[in-house]
């Protein structure tokens, strides 16, 4: 039977991996924490280097959200270590998060990170996994386009707020063109609730109500 790729809302598959910080079991070793697993095509490449610097600089911000970073590519541990050493020496940025050495491609294939039309290296995939081991967000970028670490940080923050306050977050939150940094109330499921909520919240219509974040 052909193995199906994991989807949003499903449990992250259990995988034992070798990293620059020793062996780890995903998602078990991150129980109680969120993590962002992101793949890059190869060590010692320019776009990947810019991404690793960006993620490394924002690691403390992710940590404030109880979120850990994990890198991955189809390279061996010694290659990762030398590349991270180069980044620290040349660019004065220390990468403190683990990087998976998936030199056999087992993890990349299980997570759909290898796209045949783009070669044998991993594309720029991102998996955001919550503190229960559930996949909450999946992104795929081609090899030639670098990611925006701030957007991934924003998405983690938005997902956590959506969970905590049972709301939805608008485009480009917290800088939305219509409602600014406010959040959206999920649509009412019956006529009575739809009518009552227009008295409780600010609404453009019964199906579009919003409010400030709870303090």
Residues 123 and 39: beta-carbon distance below 8 Å? yes
- In this structure, is residue 160 part of a structural domain? no
Tens of pLDDT along the chain (215 residues) come to: 456 789 999 999 999 999 999 999 999 999 999 999 999 999 999 999 999 999 999 999 999 999 999 999 999 999 999 999 999 999 999 999 999 999 888 999 999 998 887 777 888 999 999 999 999 999 999 889 999 999 999 999 999 999 999 999 999 999 999 999 999 999 888 999 888 888 999 999 999 999 999 86
Q: What is the pLDDT of residue 3?
A: 65
**DSSP conformational letter for 188:** P
Please list the active-site residues: 48
Measure the CA–CA gap between 93 and 52, rounded to whole angstroms.
Answer: 9
Whether 25 and 117 share a structural domain: yes
Closest among 181, 172, 154, 160 to 61, alpha carbons compared:
154
Say yes or no: 125 and 182 in one domain: no
Q: Are residues 174 and 95 in the same domain?
A: no
CATH number at residue 182: 3.30.1020.10
Q: 95, 119, 147: which is the final residue of a domain?
A: 147
pLDDT score of 2: 59
Residue numbers of the domain that contains 96: 15-147
**How many whole angstroms separate alpha carbon 143 and alpha carbon 135?**
23
Residues 120 and 76 in one domain: yes
Tell me, yes or no, whether 49 and 105 share the same domain: yes
Residue 209 inside a domain? The answer is: yes
Helix, strand, or coil here: 49?
helix
Sign of dihedral through CA atoms 14, 63, 48, 96?
Answer: negative
In this structure, are strands 67-73 and 99-101 parallel, antiparallel, or unpaired? Answer: parallel
Residue 7 lies in a domain: no
Considering the domain architecture, whether residues 179 and 130 belong to the same structural domain is answered as no
pTM of the model: 0.93
H or E stretch covering 128: strand 124-129
6 lies in a domain?
no
pLDDT at 59: 98
206 and 195 Cβ atoms separated by less than 8 Å? yes
Q: Are residues 135 and 40 in the same domain?
A: yes
On whether both 38 and 96 belong to a single domain, the answer is yes
171/135 same-domain check: no
- What pLDDT is recorded for position 1? 46
Same domain, 21 and 117: yes
Residue 107 lies in a domain: yes
The secondary element (H helix, E strand) that includes residue 156 is helix 149-165
5 in a structural domain = no
Same domain assignment for residues 142 and 183 = no
Beta bridge partners of 180: 176
Could you say which DSSP state residue 3 is in?
A: P
In the chain, the number of structural domains is 2
CATH number for 114:
3.40.30.10
Say how far apart CA 128 and CA 136 lie, in whole Å: 6
Cα 81 to Cα 11, 56, 87, 132, 153, distances in angstroms: 30, 15, 10, 30, 25
């Amino acid at each position: 039977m052909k193995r199906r790729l994991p989807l949003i809302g499903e449990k992250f598959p259990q995988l034992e991996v070798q990293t620059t910080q020793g062996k780890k079991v995903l998602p078990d070793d991150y129980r109680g924490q969120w993590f962002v697993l992101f793949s890059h095509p190869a060590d010692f490449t320019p776009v990947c280097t810019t991404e690793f610097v960006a993620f490394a600089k924002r690691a403390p911000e992710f940590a404030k959200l109880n979120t850990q970073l994990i890198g991955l590519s189809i390279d061996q541990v010694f290659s990762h270590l030398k590349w991270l050493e180069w980044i620290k020496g040349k660019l004065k940025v220390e990468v403190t998060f683990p990087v998976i050495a998936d030199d056999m491609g087992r993890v990349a294939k299980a997570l759909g990170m290898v796209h045949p039309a783009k070669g044998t290296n991993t594309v720029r995939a991102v998996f955001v996994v919550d503190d229960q081991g559930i996949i909450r967000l999946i992104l795929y970028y081609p090899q030639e386009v670098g990611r925006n670490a701030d957007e991934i940080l924003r998405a983690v923050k938005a997902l956590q707020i959506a969970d905590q306050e049972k709301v939805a977050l608008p485009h480009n939150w917290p800088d939305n063109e219509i409602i600014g940094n406010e959040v959206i109330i999920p649509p009412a499921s019956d006529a009575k609730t739809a009518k009552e909520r227009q008295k409780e919240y600010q609404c453009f219509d019964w199906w579009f109500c919003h409010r400030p974040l709870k303090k």
